[in-house]
Amino acid sequence: MEIYQHDNIEELWRRALKAIETCQCAQGCPSCIQAGRRGREAGFKKSDAKTVLDGLLGTWLHY
């Protein structure tokens, strides 16, 4: 039986969300959203990444 990355995609999303939520940076950094200064200049934000992951996981429904 082969194991594919998408078999554990929800766990990957959960881990990514936890990394974002526990990171001490203010707007996003290479550690949490994989965006350095140029990524932030392009408009990538920590809050946007969190919103996308919340939507994918359906966690926004619990607020």
Q: What is the pLDDT along the chain (63 residues), one digit of tens a residue?
A: 565 666 788 888 999 999 999 999 988 888 888 766 666 666 678 899 999 999 999 876 655
Instruction: Please give the structure tokens belonging to residue 51.
Output: 């919103």
Domains of the chain, by residue range, sit at: 27-63
pLDDT number for residue 15: 92
* Other CB atoms within 10 A of residue 46 CB: 19
- CA separation for the pair 31, 41 (Å, rounded): 17
